[in-house]
A and B are shown apart, each in its own frame.
Chain A
Amino acid sequence: MAKPKIAIFDFACCEGCQLQIVNLEEEILSLLGVADVVEWREAMSEKSDEYDIAIIEGSITRMEDEERLKRIRGCAKVLIALGACAMTGGVNKLKNNFEDFEEVKKCVYGKAAGKPHLRTAVTKAVGEVVQVDYAVPGCPIDGKEFTYIVRSLLMGKKPEIPDYPVCVECKANGNPCLWQYDQVCLGPIIRAGCGARCPSNGFRCFGCRGYVDNPNVDAAKDVINRFGLNLDDLKTKMVLFGSKQEPTIYE
């Protein structure tokens, strides 16, 4: 039986999620035993329009990128969104909070803001342009979760991504709650699967894996009240990876 063909493409992102794949090193070799990588600009020179699985990194910020993404979708049987930028739009969606993009560009790029290569449109997650079959959460992704998802697909199984909050893994690690240390941690409403890496190292969860399904925002508000913190504090912390996404917190 012919090995499935995989192609990896990048759009607007820092390409750190691809680096996580490169950093798998020996594990990549075992993946290559069961699949052929036919295009992956960050790691190889070859190109191909014939692939079964397309892995997309980055968000979509230009019209020409939408067209490119649609062409890729047309070639692939399965499409995987890789990392926060592809899955939710990620940090790139911050600019969608502003109506005047020219002002945003001036703020970010200064005098170069008017250059033609800095043309930009509303940021979209990959799933807002084409159908996404599976997603690897995180900023950056976790290499082991990536290999688990790809292996599952190659074996014909549906990968199971946790649908419970980071707090579950954080408690299992025996960590004291960072809310007790005045940190506005997003653990109660963000999808687990990272092993609560950030709070386990003393830094609040800042939501890179996106919201769990049906996040309990009311419980998060209760926590805020219990610790005498401000609702605006929580909303501000949700902007980095949660811009223009559910859940919206109303007063």
Chain B
Amino acid sequence: MSNRTVNINVHHVARIEGHGNIVLNATNGKIEKLQWQVPEAPRAAGPVD
């Protein structure tokens, strides 16, 4: 396996409804960080009577 670092940062995944980011950092084939982020603006609509 080659020695290399891979950093993938997909800011707002396209072609989906809703906001998601994908973050993947790997070095020498080992995953150091893998995140599925949901950066959607909160609506917090609150209750209605």
Residues of A within 8 A of B (CB): 10-13, 15, 18-19, 41-45, 58, 60-62, 65, 91-92, 94-95, 97-98, 101, 104-105, 107-109, 117-120, 236, 239-240
B16-49, CB under 8 A of A: which get 1 and which 0?
A: 1111000000000000000000111111111111
Contact B42 A104 (CB under 8 A): no
Task: Considering the complex, give the chain B residue whose CB is closest to the CB of A108.
Answer: B44
Tell me the interface secondary structure of chain B in the complex: loop
Which of A10, A44, A108 sits near B46, CB closer than 8 Å? Answer: A108
Question: Please, could you name 7 A-B residue pairs with CB atoms under 8 Å apart, sorted by A?
Answer: A61-B43, A62-B42, A91-B43, A97-B46, A101-B44, A117-B42, A119-B42
| CA distance in complex: A115, B15 (Å) | 27
| CA distance in complex: A65, B19 (Å) | 14
Which residues on B sit within 8 Å (CB–CB) of A108? 44-46
Contact A118 B42 (CB under 8 A): yes
A41-B12, A117-B39 given; A104·B18 CB < 8 A: no
Contact A42 B16 (CB under 8 A): yes
Which residues on A sit within 8 Å (CB–CB) of B41? 11-12, 58, 60-62, 65, 120
Task: Considering the complex, give the chain B residue whose CB is closest to the CB of A101.
Answer: B44
Contact A98 B46 (CB under 8 A): yes
Contact B44 A118 (CB under 8 A): yes
Contact B48 A61 (CB under 8 A): no
* Tally of B interface residues using CB under 8 Å: 19
Residues of B within 8 A of A (CB): 12, 14-19, 38-49
Task: Considering the complex, give the chain A residue whose CB is closest to the CB of B16.
Answer: A42
Which of B15, B18, B38, B40 sits near A43, CB closer than 8 Å? Answer: B15
Which residues on B sit within 8 Å (CB–CB) of A43? 14-15
B18, B42, B45, B49 interface centre (most CB from chain A within 10 Å): B42
Q: A43-B15, A94-B48, A108-B44 are in contact. List 17 more A-B contacts (CB 8 A).
A: A11-B41, A12-B41, A15-B17, A42-B17, A43-B14, A44-B14, A44-B15, A92-B43, A92-B45, A95-B45, A95-B46, A107-B46, A108-B45, A117-B39, A118-B44, A119-B42, A120-B42
What's the least CB distance linking A131 to chain B, in Å? 21
Which residues on B sit within 8 Å (CB–CB) of A109? 42, 44
Which residues on A sit within 8 Å (CB–CB) of B46? 94-95, 97-98, 104, 107-108
Contact B44 A105 (CB under 8 A): yes
Which residues on A sit within 8 Å (CB–CB) of B12? 41
B40, B41, B43, B49 interface centre (most CB from chain A within 10 Å): B41
